[in-house]
Structure 1
Amino acid sequence: MQKIVMLVCAALVAGTAAAAPGVPKGFLLYEKDAAKKDNDPETNWTVSDSVKTRLAVDPCDRSGVGGAGRTAVRTVTFTGVPDFMKVEQVLLYGSRATAERAMAQLRAALTACGSRTDAGSAYRYVSAQVTGLGDDALKVSGQVYYGGKTGVGGERSVVVRRANAVLVYLWAGEYARPVKRDWAVQFRDARRMTAGVCSVAACK
């Protein structure tokens, strides 16, 4: 669960700021939900426009992955007790090449930090190329393991690049062995956003 806690903290530190140029207010799929009044003390929504917000998928826990060349970022984060989180993130870069570099840095991080051990457990990442979605896309799983056996606690993400935009849809919670249905909602959301992101990205 350490990985999930660290992701939650990173998202909350970003806070809420003024609207970022290039990403109109209400553009992200979950902004309407985030704007609704929520009196439940066990759930929380945040909307951040900080260009310094970490890429939601950050295997090495270093803010440098995909950090250079950003022109706008919006991140919507939902957290729920005890350990559920979902993140929607749209990042715009100054050029297509810079967005391509961000994806390359993510792939390098998934390789360099694909497995981390902590007090008898391991947290492992597995990624796979996805075809037919944007210009470049990855499906990523992070999962806890104990002595080679799957433990409870993980994350499932879809990361897409379309032109100079990078999109992230991440869910984290009490996952067990990764199965295809774990990504169903993330793929649905990623397809919806990819279909409309050219209204803010330089797709031509």
Structure 2
Amino acid sequence: MKKIITLSLAVLAAAATVTPPAAATAVAIPRGFLLYEKDAAKKDDDPETNWKVGNSAKARLAVDPCDRGTPAAAGRVAARTVTFTGVPDFMKVEQVILYGSRASAVSAVAQVRAALARCRARTDAGSGYRYASSRLTGLGDEALRISGQVYYGRKAGVGGERSVLVRKGDAVFVYLWAGEYSAPGKGDWSVQLRDARKMTAKICGIATCG
């Protein structure tokens, strides 16, 4: 549970720090391009839910296994992060990042893989938090399905995250859900995969994919 709260605060802080985008950034990611921007723009009077939209190219990557805010940071030219949080511990994140070159985007995904390997298991106050990932085929140029989960010994506890990370050309995008999960199950990624397919189909409108 501590992991979920920490993750929520980190992503919200990054999303809330909105810096005025340069002209090139505004052209690169048009307003309303992300799938959840329309939902985020709707008036929400529910005190238990919250939407945030951030345009900082320095925003923390939604998938950060080592909790350092460093993976996939170099070479960015634009980014947008949409974050939804709900009581008690639900969060979903949509994040689209454009890099200055295909090589920088490839390097960004390699850094995420390295972080997943380096920090696949962490221990905190008697519980552990473990990451697992697998390659996805047929989605962008390369893609990962990622899980993070609280464990007590070998038993899964409450608190986890499920994400899909995709690279297409010089763009990287993430769809993440975090909440009160039990042991990872195949259906945990159904919405994230659906959203990732939608973004894969449209991302070349703003990214260099050739």
Task: Flag whether TM exceeds 0.5 (same fold).
Answer: yes
State the identity %.
67
> What's the TM-score once normalised by structure 2's chain length?
0.95
What is the rounded CA distance, in whole Å, between the counterparts of 1:18 and 1:83 in structure 2? 30
Aligned partner (choices 158, 161, 177) of residue 167 of structure 2: 161
* CA RMSD of superposed structures (Å): 0.9
SS for the counterpart of 2:130 is strand
SS for the counterpart of 1:92 is strand
Deviations 1:127-181 (A, max 9, x none): 0000110000000000000021111110000000000000100000010011110
- Name 1:44's counterpart in structure 2: 50
Aligned partner (choices 39, 57, 60) of residue 33 of structure 1: 39
What is the rounded CA distance, in whole Å, between the counterparts of 2:130 and 2:119 in structure 1? 8
Return 5+ residue gaps in structure 1 as ranges.
none
What is the rounded CA distance, in whole Å, between the counterparts of 2:87 and 2:20 in structure 1? 28
- Name 1:8's counterpart in structure 2: 8
> What's the TM-score once normalised by structure 1's chain length?
0.98
Aligned partner (choices 177, 186, 194) of residue 180 of structure 1: 186
What is the rounded CA distance, in whole Å, between the counterparts of 2:164 and 2:135 in structure 1? 10
Aligned partner (choices 148, 151, 156) of residue 150 of structure 1: 156
- Aligned residue pairs total 204
Return 5+ residue gaps in structure 2 as ranges.
none
SS for the counterpart of 1:58 is coil
What is the rounded CA distance, in whole Å, between the counterparts of 1:18 and 1:36 in structure 2? 22
Measure how far apart 1:17 and its partner are.
4.2
Aligned partner (choices 65, 72, 81) of residue 66 of structure 1: 72
Measure how far apart 1:18 and its partner are.
3.8
SS for the counterpart of 2:13 is helix
- Name 2:100's counterpart in structure 1: 94
